[in-house]
A and B are shown apart, each in its own frame.
Chain A
Amino acid sequence: MQKALFRKRNSAADSLAAGHGKHSLWKNTRQNKTLLFMCLPAILFFIAFSYIPMPYSYIAFTKFNYIKGIFGSPFVGFKNFAFLFRSGQLTLLLRNTILFNLAFILLGNFFQIAFAILLNEVQSKRFKKIAQSMMFLPYFISPVLVSLLVYNLINYDYGFISSLVRSWGGAMPKLYSQPSAWPFIIVAVNLWQTTGYGTVIYFAAITSIDESMIEAATVDGANGFQRIRYIMLPSLKPTVVILLLFAMGGIIRGNFGLFYNLVGNNSVLFSTTDIIETYVYRALMNNFNFSQGSAVGLFQSVVGFGIVMVANTVVRHIEPDYALF
């Protein structure tokens, strides 16, 4: 039912888009030159702030000399990449980075969608407003303060939760010495910080759903659960796919602030919490080296790019409408 409605709606546009070959591309562009001009500010922006700096990432292949500048500095090939590959840690770092990102993306989106749908069902405007504002708050708290809060909650000697557990006669585990607890703790903190923020997107998408469709379904006898399952969720699918595809590009990039502040120097926890960014920071902390830092960034860019290209091609074969490009 859903797909049929969509198809009917857009058939007029489809017929407009039909054309063959290069000749019609040029013609089409000239016809739509206003549209092109409307895209121009954005295009200029990205040229200025993203494309022009790109050639300078050549710094990753040089031994940077300040007076000679980036292009005048001596070329050293892949030497700057070597330290990450020869550390023996790369597998562990990649595993942690990717697994955490998957958890953040999958669980994050799940809760965001769930909350958006649930909130939409509730009648009380006041509840919606207050709940959403409260959920939004954690987003504003800087990582340093977050780690301070977490410490105050779970530290063994004087933590808020520790005191509670002991007053009930329980035994508090030494969480800061237990690597196995931290994937859960970090994912929980991340969810706590970002769910409110992400719910907004889905909430906006839901309010865009045509009301008559929902009314029609209800008149047809659909109950609450069926409404959610057959109308809301499918309508959100395009948004979900886009957000997921986008997230793929950053799958081997980590949120440095979060990990660095929560874990700090506690190397007992590194086996389950160390990501590429924190490792690089520790290695280069006193041996400051712009070229090596840039090399790691370049490596992450290339891998992210590869992953997205693959994912997008897959999506394009299944449902071309949902592909990013």
Chain B
Amino acid sequence: MKKTNAGKYHHLKLDWSDRTIRGFTYVFVGIFAIVCIIPFWLIVSSSFSDENAIRRTGFALWPPEISLRSYNLILQNPDLLIGSYIVTILLTVIGTLIGLFVISMTGYALQRKDFQLRNKISFFIYFTSLFTAGLVPFYYVIVKIYGLKDSYFAVLLPLLMNPWLIILMKNFVKAIPHEITESGKIDGAGDFTIFYKLIVPSMTPALATIGLFVALGYWNEWYFSSLFLTTIVKYRPLQYHLYNIVNTVASLKNSVASTNVVIQDLPAETLKMATAVLATGPIIFAYPFVQKYFVAGLTVGAVKG
């Protein structure tokens, strides 16, 4: 099995068009990348700022006055934060493994042209992305029929897969030549064995991409947590933790509640920023890690040979 990268043709001569493209890339992609990171830098910088210093003038690239007060406040009671981290990591790992497995299995089956039922099943799956029953029916079914209120399964299960990922996966698998399946069948292997032993190793970029999306879905999730995990559950996913802190103020101001309710200690700007940094930080390193799997799989040459 030869692993090659579609970009490795540098042994061929570079001409003017290649150089232009490359120059163009460095400039434009570079600028965009910097534009992406500046706001994040502002968030990090303001999380280390003294509250009063940024109150009037807003954020700056470097904190006008450094203060670790927000971080101290959060880390003083690290129990909740650590619990949130653990819960989120567990959900992400378990959910991604199960979800990715089911999605890739389904994606493979649905692109097999010799499987006549595939279009009907595709439509069955795809239709769910068009018609959503809405918040109340979904909530009703999960809480009253499945009884999943205050259970982590209420967060784990709904995020395992979605139609978009399945169809995307189907599209990726389509690019793998059918000869591979055929050669497996000739050798007498069943469909699942073919899938597991032959197809999966040649779809690493697809697995990495879809796996990343599923993982991100879990890491970023706050919606199902907010709906189904009431305060009876002590450790709730990380992003929900952050969402609560950041949205408390906004929610109060935009409702009649603010007329009547006096909340003593609303979180300061810097506290929101610090929480954002702590909640987002780790996942940033997931992408470079996943990057190395973006290598092409089997080539036709290996099959023919």
Known A145-B43, A293-B135; contact A136-B8, beta-carbon cutoff 8 A: no
Q: Is the CB of B122 within 8 A of A46?
A: no
| Chain B residues positioned under 8 Å from A324 (CB to CB) | 122-123, 126, 167
Q: How far is the CB of B250 from chain A (nearest CB, A)?
A: 6
Q: Is the CB of A115 within 8 A of B29?
A: yes
| Chain A residues positioned under 8 Å from B301 (CB to CB) | 212
Kindly specify which of B52-60, B70-78, B83-91 makes contact with the partner chain.
B52-60
* Minimal Cβ-Cβ distance residue in A for B192: A34
| Chain A residues positioned under 8 Å from B6 (CB to CB) | 120, 206-207, 209-211, 214
* Minimal Cβ-Cβ distance residue in A for B239: A142
Q: Is the CB of A141 within 8 A of B39?
A: yes
| Chain A residues positioned under 8 Å from B117 (CB to CB) | 25, 28-29, 32, 36
* Minimal Cβ-Cβ distance residue in B for A155: B58
**Is residue A171 within 8 Å, beta carbon to beta carbon, of the partner chain?**
no
| Chain B residues positioned under 8 Å from A297 (CB to CB) | 132, 134-135
Please, what's the 1-or-0 string for A8-26, where 1 marks a CB less than 8 Å from any CB in chain B? 0110111011010000110
Q: How far is the CB of B3 from chain A (nearest CB, A)?
A: 10
Q: Could you say which of B32, B37, B129, B135 contacts A294, with CB atoms under 8 Å apart?
A: B135
Q: Is the CB of A39 within 8 A of B39?
A: no
Q: Could you say which of A12, A119, A155, A294 contacts B179, with CB atoms under 8 Å apart?
A: A12
Q: How far is the CB of A239 from chain B (nearest CB, A)?
A: 6
Q: How far is the CB of A285 from chain B (nearest CB, A)?
A: 7
**Is residue B114 within 8 Å, beta carbon to beta carbon, of the partner chain?**
yes
**Is residue B263 within 8 Å, beta carbon to beta carbon, of the partner chain?**
no
Q: Is the CB of A304 within 8 A of B130?
A: yes
Please, what's the 1-or-0 string for A108-128, where 1 marks a CB less than 8 Å from any CB in chain B? 000000010011111100011
Q: Is the CB of B58 within 8 A of A42?
A: no
**Is residue B214 within 8 Å, beta carbon to beta carbon, of the partner chain?**
no
Q: Is the CB of B34 within 8 A of A134?
A: yes
Kindly specify which of A83-91, A174-182, A197-205 makes contact with the partner chain.
A197-205
Q: How large is the interface on A (under 10, 10 to 19, 20 to 34, 35 or more residues)?
A: 35 or more
Q: How large is the interface on B (under 10, 10 to 19, 20 to 34, 35 or more residues)?
A: 35 or more
* Minimal Cβ-Cβ distance residue in B for A57: B133
Assembled-state Cα–Cα distance A120/B9 (Å): 11
Known A57-B134, A211-B5; contact A13-B17, beta-carbon cutoff 8 A: no
Q: Is the CB of B115 within 8 A of A35?
A: yes
Q: Is the CB of A121 within 8 A of B296?
A: no
Q: Could you say which of A12, A43, A137, A208 contacts B124, with CB atoms under 8 Å apart?
A: A43
| Chain A residues positioned under 8 Å from B254 (CB to CB) | 265, 285
Q: Is the CB of A224 within 8 A of B106?
A: no
Please, what's the 1-or-0 string for B183-207, where 1 marks a CB less than 8 Å from any CB in chain A? 0000000111001000000000110
Q: Is the CB of A249 within 8 A of B246?
A: no
**Is residue A104 within 8 Å, beta carbon to beta carbon, of the partner chain?**
no
Q: Which of B246-305 contact A (CB under 8 A)?
A: 246-247, 250, 254-256, 269, 272-273, 276, 280, 283-284, 287-288, 291, 294-297, 299-301
**Is residue A225 within 8 Å, beta carbon to beta carbon, of the partner chain?**
yes
Q: How far is the CB of A157 from chain B (nearest CB, A)?
A: 10
| Chain B residues positioned under 8 Å from A138 (CB to CB) | 36, 39-40
Known A39-B106, A134-B33; contact A122-B26, beta-carbon cutoff 8 A: yes
Q: Which of B1-55 contact A (CB under 8 A)?
A: 4-10, 12, 15-18, 20-22, 24-26, 28-30, 32-37, 39-40, 42-43
Assembled-state Cα–Cα distance A167/B163 (Å): 51
Q: How far is the CB of B69 from chain A (nearest CB, A)?
A: 19
Assembled-state Cα–Cα distance A148/B58 (Å): 9
| Chain B residues positioned under 8 Å from A145 (CB to CB) | 43, 246, 272-273, 276
| Chain A residues positioned under 8 Å from B134 (CB to CB) | 53, 57, 59-60, 293-294, 297-298
Q: How far is the CB of A79 from chain B (nearest CB, A)?
A: 17
Q: How far is the CB of A150 from chain B (nearest CB, A)?
A: 9
Known A43-B124, A141-B276; contact A129-B113, beta-carbon cutoff 8 A: no
Q: Told that A17-B113, A42-B106 touch, could you supply 17 new A-B pairs with CB distance under 8 A?
A: A13-B114, A43-B125, A50-B132, A50-B133, A55-B137, A56-B136, A115-B32, A120-B7, A135-B36, A141-B40, A148-B269, A158-B57, A204-B206, A205-B175, A239-B171, A301-B130, A324-B123
Q: Chain B: residues with CB nearer than 8 A to chain A? A: 4-10, 12, 15-18, 20-22, 24-26, 28-30, 32-37, 39-40, 42-43, 56-60, 102-103, 105-106, 108-110, 112-117, 119, 121-126, 128-138, 140-141, 145-146, 157-158, 160-161, 163-164, 166-168, 171-172, 174-175, 177-179, 182, 190-192, 195, 205-206, 208-209, 212-213, 216, 220, 239, 242-243, 246-247, 250, 254-256, 269, 272-273, 276, 280, 283-284, 287-288, 291, 294-297, 299-301
Task: Please list 20 pairs of residues, one from A and one from B, whose beta carbons are closer than 8 Å in the complex, sorted by A's number.
Answer: A17-B114, A39-B110, A49-B157, A54-B131, A54-B137, A57-B137, A118-B25, A118-B28, A122-B29, A134-B36, A138-B39, A140-B284, A145-B246, A208-B205, A210-B300, A219-B12, A223-B17, A243-B168, A249-B129, A250-B129
The 6 closest A-B pairs by CB, nearest first: A56-B137, A224-B17, A50-B128, A16-B114, A53-B133, A223-B17
